[in-house]
Structure 1
Amino acid sequence: MSHVQEVNLVEIARPKQWPTLSRRELRPEGFPVYGANGIIGFADQYTHEEPTIIIGCRGSCGTLHVTQPRSYVTGNAMALDQMRLDLVDQRYIFYFLARRGFDDIISGSSQPQITGKGLARIKVPLLPLLEQRRISDLLDKAESIRRKRASIVAKVDELIKSEFVKRFGTPLNNSKGLPVAPIKSFGEVVTGNTPPRKDPENYGDEIEWIKSDNINTPNHFLTVAQERLSSAGKRIGRTAPSGSTLVTCIARSPSVIGNAALADREVAFNQQINAVIPGGNTDPYFLYCQFLVAKSLVQASSTNSMKGMVSKGKFQEIEFIKPAIVDQARFGEFFSRVHKLSRSLDTDLLASEELFHSLSQRAFRGEL
């Protein structure tokens, strides 16, 4: 955009960190208090009368929010105060910063942060105000479409959980009094491993080697692994066939324990994961969905509160509800139909996201 005038961000706004409130100063209700990741509580005072763009500057660096009216912004976020609204549209600045990102101005290795000095290096294309508003209106509409489609996808996924509970009750208290059995009775439990890295011949392109990152996503099925094993590595490694459920059982964060995903192809996997290979009396979709609904049962078996760890021995003894296979299979058919719908919606959502990103790129290149 060499033909468009550019200004430094600090010429159109005054970045400022406000005093951080202590936990004792937070209230259960009142004015919203914003940290780096959004609202963290409430207070009886506020720093900003009007909606204001804030940038996470400590910990979660680069997160963007627009505050609600009458909000308090803590020192973990940088507020873009005194914005020159006679020169810029606030929505335009938000969309520009969201597209640009902040990777090049984050400083500090042990404690990443964004400073006012770093923000001063950001240059903003200064289009005519009416043109900024036109771009903002267009991106608002694209973003609205994206959010609506994302909401529909989320509701479809919630439908799967609610239908499971409707048919079988909650596994946490077996509200429908169904038969229960340990996980090991649903199929073979296998813990993954890591073929020795000292032998590079163990790694190649024979089979995907799944890690917890491939499980800890919103997807029902495993995402594609970045690393693969060779045929030699596969012989040393542990594998699970299509239809298996893979569960995160060792993680740095306890909240990740119990995350599950289905395998739709044969995969190898590491020692942070337990796989359940369903037997003949288990519907694979039923088993997977029970992990979705009963994640807390897995977490309750964790032996390490600091990071989270569920041993194979404890994992396979966790009791799940076990209805008749015919009832499991009927639910499995329901899951298949809903998942097919969800995949179609995912395609629509991806298209709307690509549209938004395309419009955003073109807008700030002056092509709209």
Structure 2
Amino acid sequence: MLKDHILKLETGSRPRGGALTVGIPSLGGEHLSKDGGFKLSKLKFVSIDYFNKLKKGIVEENDILIVKDGATTGKVSFVGSDFPLTRCAVNEHVYRLVVDDTINPKYFFYFLFSDLGQNQMLRDFRGATVGGITKNFLKYLDCEFPSFKEQKRITKILEDADRLQKNALKLVEEYNALPQSIFNEMFGNPILNKSRYETKQLIEVIDEERPITYGILKPGQDIKPDGVPYIKVVDVRNGEIIKESVCHTTIEISDKYKRSTLKAGDILFSIRGHVGRTCMVPPMFLGANITQDTARLACNETINPYFLNQLLQNIHFSRNYQKFIKGAAVKGINLGDLKKLPIIVPPKLLQEKFAEKILLVEQQKVILKKELKQSQDLFNCLLQKAFKGELVENKIVSE
């Protein structure tokens, strides 16, 4: 049984009063990333004295960390040789798992990371409000493990495929950030406006026949694939519409809000909740609609939509309109303040030159996303094969 190969399965702890802002890092579920790595930009800490007294939960190389409760129960990460923290511990919401020397720890991590391992772990899930798994999840783990030599060989195959997909993802992320780099290089800080470009209020660069407006108040039940698609704030991420998450409303409901019907090249700007999520409407959403939490901006001839889209995403510009965001539970910016936002309007020829560069970036991103999808499919395929025994040359059953 796999559970017989586990040397340690333990959680850490934190002192009363919670985590500190300085000291020794204390890792919680939020610090484990969904790709099996770590998110360490917003660390929490325990005191050096408290850490030195800990008897459990001190993280070491080759540990497997598992979220034990909450919304991300079962998420796993591996502490490799490249782990950047020299000293840290897990808190009470994370398991630290250590295997014996008959099991390759990275191979065991990949097993728990796989769909098979995840499904088996979560068979122990219990609780409603804040559910989680107990140490009893070990008894549900059931998989034939090959010899240590084979584990090492298969781990290398999975690591290479994993590295390939992560490198592809990094390239996509770099290209996501490239438009803002180009914007800053060509136009500088749009608030300081050192180039002394003409400035106007946002409303002055909007098509008078299609004024700034929000959309549907109550779209009703999703009737996809029928009806009319409508874009929600949560559908906009990284400057793009996530088409898989878009819902559809009835033609009758959408027709009541013809004022907010979309055309290709329109700009969407979220005005409630996550204020400032921005994207350009692609041709596939011609005739779609939006909700009351999003404003539609239809450019007139004085402004290029590619330029306006990136201006609205600029960090200096977004910091400047924070003063207009109001509300406690649900933050928002009203249309009146949005319309009056001052924007720079460089010469149209310069805007179009910028747009040409952004189009080239977008074309390259299409290629990179296809490569990313292929590398992700390859990794997932190999992961599935690995724990079905289809990558094994000399299979020995774990006992």
Q: Same fold (TM over 0.5)?
A: yes
**Number of the residue aligned with 2:35:** none
Pick from 30, 36, 39: which aligns with 1:37?
30
Compute the displacement of 1:160 (Å). Answer: 1.0
Give 1:231 deviation, angstroms. 2.6
Using the alignment, how far apart are the partners of 2:188 and 2:292 within structure 1? 32
Match of 1:230 in 2: 250
Map of 1:79 onto structure 2: 96
The residue that corresponds to 1:96 in the other structure is 111
In the alignment, the residues of structure 1 paired with residue 176 and residue 6 of structure 2 have an alpha-carbon distance, to the nearest angstrom, of 43
In 1, the alpha carbon distance for the partners of 2:7 and 2:196 equals 62
Q: 2:267 aligns with which of 241, 245, 248?
A: 245
| Per-residue deviation, 1:224 | 4.3
Residue deviations 1:181-221, cap 9 Å, x none?
22222213120113563xx8998724211112211x23534
Q: Are the counterparts in 2 of residues 201 and 233 from structure 1 also a CA contact under 8 Å?
A: no
> Which among 8, 17, 21 is matched to residue 14 of structure 1?
8
Q: Does 1:277 align with 2:298?
A: yes
CA distance in 2, matches of 1:41, 1:315: 37
Q: Aligned-residue CA RMSD in angstroms?
A: 2.6
TM-score calculated relative to the size of structure 2? 0.80
Alpha-carbon distance in structure 2 between the residues aligned to 1:125 and 1:271? 53
**2:131 corresponding residue in structure 1:** 112
Number of the residue aligned with 2:63:
52
Post-superposition shift, 1:121?
2.7
Normalized against structure 1, the TM-score is what? 0.86
Deviation at 1:258, TM superposition (A): 1.0
Q: 1:171 to 1:34 in 2, by over 3 A?
A: same
3-state DSSP of counterpart to 1:257: coil
SS at match of 1:125: coil
Cα separation, 2, equivalents of 1:127 and 1:201: 47
Q: Is contact 1:208–1:225 with CA below 8 Å preserved after alignment?
A: no
CA 1:145–1:300: 2 relative to 1, 3 Å: farther
Give the distance between the partners of 1:234 and 1:96, measured in 2 at CA: 47
1:353 aligned onto 2:376: yes
Unaligned runs of 5+ in 2: 32-39, 53-57, 392-399
Q: Distance in 2 between matches of 1:131 and 1:232?
A: 61
Q: Which residue matches 1:332?
A: 355
Distance in 1, matches of 2:125 and 2:342, equals 47
Q: Is the partner of 1:274 in helix, strand or coil?
A: strand
Task: Decide whether aligned partners of structure 1 residues 22 and 291 sit closer, same or farther in structure 2, where only a CA change above 3 A counts.
Answer: farther
Cα deviation digits, residues 260-297 of structure 1 (max 9, x gap): 12211322111111111111212111111112213434
Aligned mates of 1:189, 1:230 — CA distance in 2: 23
Q: Deviations over 1:96-117 (max 9, x none)?
A: 1111325544332222323223
- Structure 1 298/244 Cα, relative in aligned 2: closer, same or farther at 3 Å? farther
TM-superposed deviation, 1:300: 4.0
| Secondary structure of the structure 2 residue equivalent to 1:141 | helix
1:27 Cα offset (Å): 5.2
SS in 1 for 2:390: coil
Question: 1:19-67 deviations in whole A, cap 9, x for unaligned?
Answer: 1256776354x64431112242355337234341111223332322224
Identity %, equivalent residues: 21
Gap runs ≥5 in structure 1: 1-6
Q: Secondary structure at the match of 1:151?
A: helix
Say if 1:203 and 1:230, in contact at 8 Å, map to a contact too: no
Greater Cα offset, 331-340 or 287-296: 287-296
Q: Structure 2 vs 1, CA of residues 319 and 222 (structure 1 numbering), >3 Å: closer, same or farther?
A: farther
Q: Is the 8 A contact 1:250 1:309 kept in 2?
A: yes
CA distance in 2 between counterparts of 1:178 and 1:229 reads 42
Question: Which string of whole-angstrom CA distances, capped at 9 and with x for unpartnered residues, describes residues 108-132 of structure 1?
Answer: 2222323223454333432221111
Map of 1:150 onto structure 2 = 169
Report the equivalent of 1:4.
none
Please list, as runs of the form range in 1=range in 2, the aligned pairs for 1:251-266 lying within 5 A after superposition.
Answer: 251=273, 256-264=274-282, 265-266=285-286
2:240 aligns with one of 200, 206, 220: 220
Decide whether the 8 Å contact of 1:10 with 1:119 is kept in 2.
no
Q: Distance in 1 between matches of 2:172 and 2:298?
A: 28
- Alignment match, 1:65: 77
Aligned length: 352
Task: Quote how far apart the aligned CAs of 1:361 are.
Answer: 0.8
Distance of aligned partners of 1:195 and 1:364 in 2 relative to their CA distance in 1, 3 Å threshold: same
The SS at the match of 1:58 is: coil
